Structure 1
Amino acid sequence: MNINNNKYFINIPYLILVITMFLDIKFNSIAIVLLFLFSITYLAKQRFNQRKYILIFSLLFFFNLLHVYNERFDFIVLESNLSYLIFPLIFFLKPIVNRRSFELILKSFLYCSIAMFLVLLFNAIYIQFFSIGNFYEINWFLFSYHDFVKIINIEPVYASIFAGFSVFISFYFFRNTNKNYFLIFIVILLLFQVMLTSRTPLVATFLILIISIFQTYSFKKSMLLMLLSLIIMMILVSLHSVSRNRLLSTFYGMQSDTKLSKNWGEDSGKLSDRTLKWDSSLEVIKRNPIIGVGAIQMKDSLVREYKKNNYLIGAQKRFDPHNQYLTETLSNGVFSGIALILLLLVPYILALRAKYILYSSFVLLIVFSLFTESVLYRQKGLVFYCFFNALFFSFYFLKSDKRLRLNNR
């Protein structure tokens, strides 16, 4: 038996990588190495001329590896950014062109997201009722944000982005199969996001889901589904007090932006706190627009700016900009910031033109999430984005059979 042609064997390295995205970083790093070795060992020799385009596309990623930090090339920064290059290279060597393999990877990620939610939910219930022994009043903090995800050591924003993407995967399979249990998955995953109370991915997921609905169905049916989705979302949010309060604080934070900005020493948890970080970041960028301050010195530069403006909590906690676009520009200059925008804009335009709803939804979720979090600053977010972006690009745009492409939308 030719192992290279075995449809079950060739999926294993990809599935291992997907599963380890939900685990500790060291397991994910090992999985990346195994997948890279696999792609070299089982190099697909066909369609090399066609696969040259993904290599060209990966050069945009490579731009982020060519920076000098404090007059020296920092290998720690290089290692953390290798995902920009390694995943396009993996799918250049071994592209996923089989629909069954592609959908198996998506389903694996979806089921892992639901499994993660169930583990966290049962753990929170156990702590509430068996460890604390409180049967009369629910401690909602155990069912939200950092306390909710503490057991698996993952930031709430990354868990929320994973859940949001899983919502789009469920919608993708519902469109193609009309199986109602995928609708149940969507409700479960939206509940997961509500409990995580990470506002930007939650709102972005809901808005992108509505856009996907209107791209798929007639106007009348889309309106009905949108109203149903809105009702479900309002019920889920209203039942979870922490999520409700965080969303309301965002609204009031927008209303009180000017007032709070005059008192840099406060940290209210509202949207205004982010604008304080953004203002400081912009001031540092103005002084170092071309080459930036370097990834290693980024936080030190921000701390000095925070102290200058009496933003004491920001200086004490050494906050990053909480905006990936500002983080990239602050670290490496405006050209790197432009490169990041191109990395998002080019795939989105291609997916939009080809009407690949799942791919465009994925990119749009990342675009929105980067406005309020430096998602690509940590390996969890970087590996997630680079892997699935390369997977989608490889699967959707490296096929020679146009009819197969149309069937896989």
Structure 2
Amino acid sequence: MNEVKYNKLYFYILSIIAITLCYPKINAINNISIIILGIIWIAEGKWREKKLRLIQSPIILLVVSFFLLHVISLLYSHNITKGLQTLVDYIPLLLFPLVLGSISCLKKGDIYTIVSLFIASCFVATFICVLTAVKISLWDNLQTDDHWFYDLFTRPIELNSIYFSFFLGFCILCLGAYLFENIGKLSLLKRTGLFLLIIYFLGVMLLLTSRTTLIATLLLGAINCLLYLIKTEGRNMKALGSLMIAPILVVILISQSSFLTQRFSDIKNLNTSAVTENLHSRQKLNLPWSSSSAIRVAIWESSLSVIENNFFTGVGIGDTQEELVKMYYKNNYVFENGYQGHNAHNQFLQTMMTSGIVGVLLLLGIFMVGFFLAWRQKNYFYMTFILYIFLNCLTEALLQRQKGIVFFGIMSNLLFFYFFTKQEVKTKSKMAVYS
């Protein structure tokens, strides 16, 4: 099979992975597609060429080291079965950079299509959720509107609301960047359509009530707009003004909903006194924790306690959750309905609990090198993407679930290749790419 046919196979498989990513109901298709991607990569051969491409990149070394460190941590884990399951989940984090960093470069049009298919897939998912919520409102005669918010809203597609919001934030940043880059080439109808789609996705993100993701999207979107404005020397002031309507609408919508107002005002409970207050209420009055922010602070406190006792090596990939649960009980933190399955809700704390200080330094290195490559090539959108992932990792352990791992692995590589071919990377920066 020649190179052209292999590139077509890569394109089709990557498209399927992107389309099925936000539908857990068909997770098997997504997983099988990832396996097929690896098989095609192995079947293609050309190991000498692939090796030459891979060894040029220090980021590949970081990713391989990050994965191998977790393999090593399995040696001092007590729960080997759990550790092996987690390692299997981590395979896409290693596979995507190896494949996309070593194959002959996909065409920019192919990469644009794959990202566009992902955005279209997310739109269909939001449409399913909205239609279901409308149906419930019209025919089920409920006394509350809870089905419009959070995990109840995403129940039709069975996707965690935080991850769905995370995906939609990425879609918004992509659409905003495309709109600015092509503002002078697009017809009024297309510009209006893109703008309305951005507003629509923002509205759905509000219903999902993921605060960090929404704030990161608005903040980075505004920064990206300013960067493009500087780049174009102020020629797109009207476009900037129209996009600034988005955060104003968000503030108005939050103020008009008691649920959203309470959800976002809860941010002030990110302190230890809120933990004490909620803990006291639960013990004395048998009440659930009233503050999700306080729960996060309690989780972070417990995570730091685990890290303090295992600073250099971590507890091992198989024992991380077990040790964290032990700390919950030690601190008398029993969460809603007795649920103790919360991870660290911070990727850096989660990684440090698992593999110690070396693990978190490698993870930070992946972000820093990716950001440096984008800075060096003046790739503002890729810088925005890295910062978007980084900010979300502060309040969620995004790389602990298959959806986060696959999304990060496929999109970080595809986005770089959209802007730069391997030849440009080789001749200008002498680096291959991964982030």
Question: TM-score, normalized by length of structure 2?
Answer: 0.83
2:248 alignment partner in structure 1? 231
Matched residue of 1:84: which SS? helix
1:260 alignment partner in structure 2? 275
Residue-by-residue CA offset, 1:51-82 (whole Å, 9 max, x unaligned): 23566422212223332336366422221111
Tell me which of the two structures has the higher relative contact order, counting C-alpha pairs closer than 8 angstroms and 6 or more residues apart. Answer: 2
**Shift in Å, 1:38:** 3.0
2:221 alignment partner in structure 1? 209
Alignment of structure 1 residues 78-89 onto 2, 5 Å: 78-89=87-98
Do structure 1's residue 321 and structure 2's residue 322 form an aligned pair?
A: no
* Distance in structure 2 (CA, Å) of the matches to 1:373 and 1:355: 28
Residue-by-residue CA offset, 1:182-208 (whole Å, 9 max, x unaligned): 111111111111111111111111101
* Distance in structure 2 (CA, Å) of the matches to 1:240 and 1:357: 35
Change (3 A) 1:12 1:190: same
Change (3 A) 1:6 1:236: farther
Matched residue of 1:296: which SS? coil
Is this contact kept in 2: 1:13–1:35, CA < 8 A?
yes
1:169 alignment partner in structure 2? 174
Letter in 1 for 2:343: D
Alignment of structure 1 residues 296-335 onto 2, 5 Å: 296-313=318-335, 316-335=339-358
Change (3 A) 1:294 1:226: same
* Distance in structure 2 (CA, Å) of the matches to 1:336 and 1:306: 23
Change (3 A) 1:223 1:11: closer
**Shift in Å, 1:280:** 1.2
* Distance in structure 2 (CA, Å) of the matches to 1:7 and 1:335: 36
Residue-by-residue CA offset, 1:21-74 (whole Å, 9 max, x unaligned): 112232211110122233344568997587235664222122233323363664
Is this contact kept in 1: 2:54–2:60, CA < 8 A?
no
Change (3 A) 1:71 1:6: closer
User: Residue 391 of structure 2: which of 368, 373, 377 is its match?
Assistant: 368
**Shift in Å, 1:83:** 1.5
Change (3 A) 1:109 1:43: farther
Do structure 1's residue 105 and structure 2's residue 114 form an aligned pair?
A: yes
**Shift in Å, 1:177:** 2.9
**Shift in Å, 1:15:** 0.7
Do structure 1's residue 143 and structure 2's residue 148 form an aligned pair?
A: yes
1:26 alignment partner in structure 2? 28
1:389 alignment partner in structure 2? 412
Is this contact kept in 2: 1:298–1:330, CA < 8 A?
yes
Matched residue of 1:322: which SS? coil
Q: What's the RMSD between the two structures over aligned residues? A: 2.9
* Distance in structure 1 (CA, Å) of the matches to 2:241 and 2:335: 46
**Shift in Å, 1:8:** 6.2
Is this contact kept in 2: 1:140–1:242, CA < 8 A?
no
Is this contact kept in 2: 1:347–1:393, CA < 8 A?
no
Is this contact kept in 1: 2:278–2:290, CA < 8 A?
no
Residue-by-residue CA offset, 1:230-269 (whole Å, 9 max, x unaligned): 2122233334442332111113x14x64253365355223
173-182 vs 275-284, greater mean Cα deviation: 173-182
* Distance in structure 1 (CA, Å) of the matches to 2:59 and 2:412: 11
Change (3 A) 1:128 1:288: same
Residue-by-residue CA offset, 1:123-181 (whole Å, 9 max, x unaligned): 11112212x135xx6x3311111101112111111101100000011112212333312
Is this contact kept in 2: 1:148–1:196, CA < 8 A?
yes
Is this contact kept in 2: 1:50–1:398, CA < 8 A?
no
221-230 vs 196-205, greater mean Cα deviation: 221-230
1:295 alignment partner in structure 2? 317
**Shift in Å, 1:332:** 1.1
Is this contact kept in 2: 1:264–1:311, CA < 8 A?
yes
* Distance in structure 2 (CA, Å) of the matches to 1:372 and 1:237: 21
1:195 alignment partner in structure 2? 207
* Distance in structure 2 (CA, Å) of the matches to 1:154 and 1:57: 31
* Distance in structure 2 (CA, Å) of the matches to 1:239 and 1:154: 26
105-114 vs 2-11, greater mean Cα deviation: 2-11
Change (3 A) 1:249 1:9: same
User: Residue 51 of structure 1: which of 30, 49, 53 is its match?
Assistant: 53
Change (3 A) 1:32 1:8: closer
Do structure 1's residue 246 and structure 2's residue 248 form an aligned pair?
A: no
Letter in 2 for 1:196: L
Is this contact kept in 1: 2:128–2:156, CA < 8 A?
no
**Shift in Å, 1:339:** 0.9
Change (3 A) 1:393 1:263: same
* Distance in structure 1 (CA, Å) of the matches to 2:84 and 2:112: 36
Is this contact kept in 2: 1:280–1:306, CA < 8 A?
yes
Letter in 2 for 1:364: L
Matched residue of 1:152: which SS? coil
Letter in 2 for 1:298: T
**Shift in Å, 1:226:** 6.2
* Distance in structure 2 (CA, Å) of the matches to 1:63 and 1:174: 38
Change (3 A) 1:187 1:71: same
Change (3 A) 1:262 1:377: same
Do structure 1's residue 379 and structure 2's residue 402 form an aligned pair?
A: yes
User: Residue 141 of structure 2: which of 133, 144, 147 is its match?
Assistant: 133
**Shift in Å, 1:325:** 0.5
Q: Percent identity?
A: 25
Change (3 A) 1:258 1:10: closer
